[in-house]
Amino acid sequence: MRRHLSIPVLAALFAAACGAPASSETATPSPLKENPTMSATQFTSINGKPLDLTALGAKAILVVNTASKCGFTPQYKGLQALYEDKKDEGLVIVGVPSNDFMGQEPGTEEEVKTFCEINYGVTFPLTRKYHVKGKEAHPFYAAAIDKLGKDAEPGWNFHKVLIKGDGTPVKAYGSKVKPDDAALMADIEAALKG
């Protein structure tokens, strides 16, 4: 039988591990981190280093499952432009390469990274390749679906999930929603303002 620790106990353990003084007040956990065993905000970067979404110092994060051989692949250009335009305001875009849809991301991580840099000048963070649907999906997607409903489940490449910097899910967008879509831009602006 697995033992579950209460949120106050987890907060105290986290504070102690980070060298911060334990508080008698209960900290409000990030919605995507409510179950610490899920590691919903923790990825591995395409370079093999830890990548925790809530440690990026962002006000808003757009998580996009990507692929190199998809009809939506040119969205990389718009995502890079959006990142360059809004990064100083606190937006981070995180690309999550996935081969889940018709095998459209077959390459190695090094090949994916090179493709993105050479063809689209991508400088925003990329993760290693992950499953984004089904039982093997990264826990981020299960947590996002839990908070936002089925709209947060990718139906194809270049599906987008907007979260606040603390991991709070805001909204999900289908693959056809382009990076310069007016509604998406409005949601990003709102998230950046807090």
What is the pLDDT at residue 194? 83
Average pLDDT over residues 94-121: 98
Residue % of the chain over a pLDDT of 90: 79
State the architecture of 30-192 in CATH terms: 3-Layer(aba) Sandwich (3.40)
pLDDT band at 9; cut points 50, 70, 90: very low
Distances (CA, A) of 103 to 66, 68, 69, 70, 106: 12, 10, 8, 9, 6
Determine the pLDDT at residue 39: 76
* pLDDT tens digits, 114-143: 999 999 999 999 999 999 999 999 999 999
pLDDT of residue 29 exceeding 90 = no
Predicted confidence band of residue 4 (pLDDT cuts 50, 70, 90):
very low
Q: What is the pLDDT of residues 136-169, one digit of tens each?
A: 999 999 999 999 999 999 999 999 999 999 999 9
**Which secondary structure element, helix H or strand E, spans residue 119, and what is its range?**
helix 109-120
Where are the chain's structural domains?
Answer: 30-192
The pTM of the full predicted model, rounded to 2 decimals, is 0.82
> What amino acid positions are annotated as catalytic residues?
70
Alpha-carbon distances, residue 95 vs 4, 11, 65, 150, 160 (angstroms): 32, 30, 6, 20, 9
pLDDT above 70: percentage of residues in the chain: 80
* Angle of helix 109-120 versus helix 75-86 axis, rounded to 10: 70
Higher-pLDDT residue of 126 and 33 is 126
